[in-house]
Amino acid sequence: MTTTRRRAPGFTLVELMVTLTVLGIVFATVGLAPLALTAPDEAALPRQVHGARRDAIRSGQPVALTLDPAVTVMFFPDGSATPAHVWDGEAHWTIDPWTGEARRD
């Protein structure tokens, strides 16, 4: 007569350790993911443009602002500017020639 031995319900220590290790890796990865999602400083370029435009209006003299080594925008005392298209590394921006404001494309 052969007797079969039934396992008691539950988990072995190895199964428990593997499960906890996998869960630890998953939670560590998911927990650190938001740190990599830093928002770009979208206000940097419009802030520079606004400051140069304001300086031109206040001083009554044209003000040149170099946004990129290849792009220089002139702001005039009436608030207008030379038109320009700029890539800031995150988005395309257009400098409106009539208002001198930066718009994100």
Residue 31 structure tokens: 């927990």
8 A C-beta contact, residue 38 and residue 16: no
* pLDDT band at residue 81 under the 50/70/90 scheme: very high
pLDDT of residue 68: 78
Contacts for 64-73: CB closer than 8 Å, 24+ residues apart = 73/49
Residue 77 structure tokens: 């005392």
pLDDT of residue 21: 95
8 A C-beta contact, residue 103 and residue 93: yes
pLDDT of residue 40: 57
Q: 9-67: per-residue pLDDT in tens? A: 788 899 999 999 999 998 888 877 776 676 656 678 888 889 999 999 999 999 999 98
Higher pLDDT: 82 or 90? It is 82
